[in-house]
Amino acid sequence: MEAKGESRIRYSPLIAAGIMLGLGLGGFVDGILLHQILQWHHMLSSVRPIVTVSDVELNMVWDGLFDAATWLSTVIGLALLWRAGAREDVPWSLNTFLGSLLVGAGLFNFFEGLIDHQILGIHHVKPGPNELVWDLGFLASGVILVVAGWLLLRAGKRESTIT
């Protein structure tokens, strides 16, 4: 129980903001790097391969919807970060924030890879030879990012209890 006038340290507002930002930024890396720059795949490229102009248009619409969802996640993360910044009971820690970003990006990679690549099969990281290897690597990158983020989160909590 808290004594009158004491406030408890709360990590969750900063962590929630970091995770939402990480989800959005992870989605932007996927959408910008894999969809647009490398052009390895589009949202529906396994369901509707690009053969005609109509196929291009349909895939671009779904890529745009994907980008809109990642943008929305980023905006929500910024709003949560703004609210966390206004609270006196939220310790500002680079480890906590970066750890949260990594957890969010890792969750994005893992669940997007699991749902879109494996369960629905609507696209793959890099279709063609070694398709499964690329997909499993994407899933593994998600797990690695989550673990790295979790370790940073633990370090962030330790540093704020020391100071």
pLDDT in tens, 5-22: 456 889 999 999 999 999
Domain boundaries, the chain: 12-162
What's this model's pTM, rounded to 2 decimal places? 0.89
Compute the average pLDDT of residues 108-130: 95
Task: Pull the structure tokens for residue 130.
Answer: 């070694």
Task: Count each helix (H run) and each strand (E run) in the chain, helices first.
Answer: 4, 0
Residue 127 and residue 13: Cα distance in Å, rounded? Answer: 39
- Cα angle 97, 100, 106 (rounded to 5 degrees) comes to 145
- C-alpha distances (whole Å) from 9 to each of 33, 86, 90, 160 are 38, 14, 6, 9
- C-beta atoms surrounding 115 within 10 Å: 12
